[in-house]
Chain A
């Protein structure tokens, strides 16, 4: 198996569903419904947690420090007496701002690159593929760690470096899909009509590979949330003390023995969002499968 097919996961996607399974998969499936609800809740929290959160995320509560989960504080309070539920809700905003923007950049860049490489081929394609492979053999997060370590962490740096890491993978998917579409009769027809490459790529090929692009973007969104949370956990993302989920887990790790709720709830928030997005991506993939 080549690196390309391995990272893109094409072979898995194509062969993983038999006709029998596909027929059974519907919108009403509990996994899809549940994931959609989870995503909607987090998006709502990211937009306006101020309306939902019971307390201010950085206010010390009168109940004191390390209050266990209960009726007063659903998720308990942390070492500064702050309400963990409110902090978890507030922590959705940084993640759901940076991750979608990084994925948007990577999707646009990767789609343009993949269309061009797939359509024109030739020497440029060969060289560019090697370069994409050169970036993609680096373990995930390694490029991000290099850049964040030297430039310092800010939303802009995080968005750019994640987009840089994901662009090759998007480009591969789009390139592979373009290679298939390029051979279709309607492309030939447009070519004979005298249409330019820009028209053929934008109007003929892009609409036909849009499904693959949507699936790819959704998968990368899950990856981006995963990566951001991990970067914050290792201290290279959000600032310590901020309500960002990964940073909360890192800050409260020392309290694991006596106050598990300060760690487990933000960790669970990360997992719930990444799992929900991955499950939705999986459904879209099957839905779009021919």
Chain B
């Protein structure tokens, strides 16, 4: 167990190191001069050189990477080029807001996907099953900004039931539409996984034994099927968070929600390299940590998962 965890944590650290290399490399593919871009076209060569020195851009790339990574690990994420405030506070506070949105989404997604997957799995092969599967697939395939726009047209413009934005003055009501758009895109995948687990559980011999003993369908599902399938969405937490963070960029823009997506987007428009790097890397770290936590929870919930050997 302890050996398993040291190996697992070692792998996580190596992966995150490589992620940091990838992020750093992606932000250094630019041929242009960052210092000149900050100071503008008219700046004198001397002031550009001074800026380069200040930002450490005159040092070799490997050295720049090293000090960036050490800074990141120690919590010094640099200063935003455009906002003149520490990147860490900016990024972390907005990431927190995005995680709130993701948390609400997951809290709604869980019961919805569980019940849909259960119905589809128990009626596997029927019209109900097919309808759920196809609709789930349609939801997964619809970009968040498309379902968001459709929701806005329907509930905000046509009926004026819900506010068109998630700005704080609208409170919780403003979160209904963005969360719905995110739930639509995520439900299909989790439903499919629950369904697959229900189908494979129903084929197990102990289900037949229970049936032959005369158990009612309700208690069969409650005691034998549901228990197995409940853990499936937990295992999918990491993947879902990854997709949610990706989808949040469009949703936050559409509904004016100040989260990590809006930070990333603003930094992208203004070519604010430290913010871009930090926002991307911390999102990767968050996804990776969610994977570890969901593995841990999965192991605790499902005793069949062995911790003694790596999968």
**Residue B116 is within 8 A (CB to CB) of chain A in the complex:** no
What is the interface residue range for chain A against chain B?
A: 35 or more
Q: Indicate which residue in B11, B21, B244, B250 contacts A234 across the interface (CB closer than 8 Å).
A: B250
Chain B minimum-CB-distance residue to A151: B30
Known interface pairs A18-B124, A226-B143, A230-B250. Does A282 touch B137 (Cβ–Cβ under 8 Å)?
A: yes
Are the C-beta atoms of A135 and B250 separated by less than 8 Å?
no
Are the C-beta atoms of A134 and B19 separated by less than 8 Å?
yes
Q: Which of A2-10, A42-50, A208-216 contacts B (4 or more CB under 8 A)?
A: A2-10
**Residue B146 is within 8 A (CB to CB) of chain A in the complex:** yes
Are the C-beta atoms of A145 and B152 separated by less than 8 Å?
no
The minimal Cβ–Cβ distance linking A129 to chain B, given in whole angstroms, is: 9
Contacts of B30 in A (CB 8 A): 150-151
**Residue B142 is within 8 A (CB to CB) of chain A in the complex:** yes
Chain B minimum-CB-distance residue to A24: B125
A251 to B153, CA, bound (A): 16
Are the C-beta atoms of B138 and A275 separated by less than 8 Å?
yes
Q: Indicate which residue in B17, B137, B143, B288 contacts A270 across the interface (CB closer than 8 Å).
A: B143
Within 8 A of A (CB), among B40-81: none
Residue with the greatest number of chain B CB neighbours at <10 A, chosen from A134, A246, A277:
A134
Within 8 A of A (CB), among B138-166: 138, 140-147, 149-150, 152-153, 157-158, 164
Q: Is the interface of B mostly helix, strand, loop or mixed?
A: helix
Known interface pairs A131-B18, A141-B249, A149-B276. Does A16 touch B195 (Cβ–Cβ under 8 Å)?
A: yes
Known interface pairs A16-B199, A21-B125, A137-B242. Does A233 touch B250 (Cβ–Cβ under 8 Å)?
A: yes
The minimal Cβ–Cβ distance linking B299 to chain A, given in whole angstroms, is: 11
Are the C-beta atoms of A6 and B238 separated by less than 8 Å?
yes
Interface residues of B (CB under 8 A from A): 11, 14-19, 21-23, 26-27, 29-30, 32, 124-125, 129-130, 133-134, 137-138, 140-147, 149-150, 152-153, 157-158, 164, 189, 192-193, 195-197, 199-200, 235-236, 238-239, 242-246, 249-250, 253-254, 264-265, 267-269, 271, 273, 276, 280, 283-284, 287-288, 291, 298, 311
Name the 6 nearest CB pairs between A and B, nearest first.
A149-B268, A134-B18, A140-B246, A139-B246, A139-B245, A15-B196
Would you list 30 pairs from A and B whose C-beta atoms are within 8 A, ordered by A residue? A3-B238, A6-B236, A6-B239, A11-B193, A12-B189, A20-B125, A21-B125, A130-B15, A134-B17, A137-B287, A137-B291, A138-B283, A139-B243, A139-B284, A140-B246, A141-B249, A142-B280, A150-B27, A150-B276, A229-B145, A230-B143, A230-B145, A233-B143, A249-B146, A256-B152, A267-B145, A271-B146, A274-B141, A274-B143, A278-B141
